[in-house]
Structure 1
């Protein structure tokens, strides 16, 4: 057993950073992390090579996929299959997301593919 302290908690991105991604646990079959985007921020992620579950722990936004847009807020659980284009938009309150990847983040692709945050 392992307790993952701080997973899903809002953290302001470091100075000069647009968003904040921290991976808190990684084992071969899954990984867990926290993704934070400030209100008014822009989500610049690209599709991932792993299946993904988001749990909204704080904030409000829309998630946009080829299948449509949905408003999300605290308690929303979102499944995004590997390879699906997706992005959080219209972020009206600081957004904190607990993120679970299966298998572990980055394990199916070459380094740099499916980056959660791309620096400008």
Structure 2
């Protein structure tokens, strides 16, 4: 057993940007917290893993190809792998407990190392 301290708790992002913290990573599952300040923009891209969001604080709207809906504390949202989605109209600081299955990024294709200039 493991108690995951701080998961889903609002923390003020630095520089007014969104904040992602991964708390637990196992091969088949990862858990983290995603925070978006009021008025902030969600610039995430679709993920290669299935995802569940649990809204623990704040108010916003989630937008997917199927439409948009208001979310707040207690909302639980499933987003299948590859689906476009974003939070907008963040009217109160938004804290989300995020669960990925399998672990976040584990299905992403391998990327070659970035090119570096020769010295």
Determine if the TM-score, normalized by the shorter chain, exceeds 0.5: yes
Give the superposed CA RMSD: 1.1
Q: Does 1:10 align with 2:10?
A: yes
> Gaps (5+ residues) in structure 1?
113-120
Report the CA distance shift for 1:111/1:70 in structure 2 as closer, same or farther (over 3 A).
farther
Which residues of 2 match residues 75-94 of structure 1 at below 5 A? 75-94=74-93
Q: Which runs of 4+ in 1 moved over 6 A?
A: none
2:54 aligned residue: 55
Shift of 1:17: 4.7
Deviations 1:68-96 (A, max 9, x none): 00000000000000000000000000000
Superposition TM-score, scaled by structure 2 size: 0.91
Which residues of 2 match residues 108-119 of structure 1 at below 5 A? 108-110=107-109
For these two proteins, the number of residue pairs brought into alignment is 111
Structure with the greater alpha carbon radius of gyration? 2
Instruction: Please state whether the residue corresponding to 2:51 is helix, strand or coil.
Output: strand
Equivalents in 2 of 1:101, 1:48: separation in Å? 9
> Gaps (5+ residues) in structure 2?
112-119
Superposition TM-score, scaled by structure 1 size: 0.90
Deviations 1:32-73 (A, max 9, x none): 000000000000000000000000000000000000000000
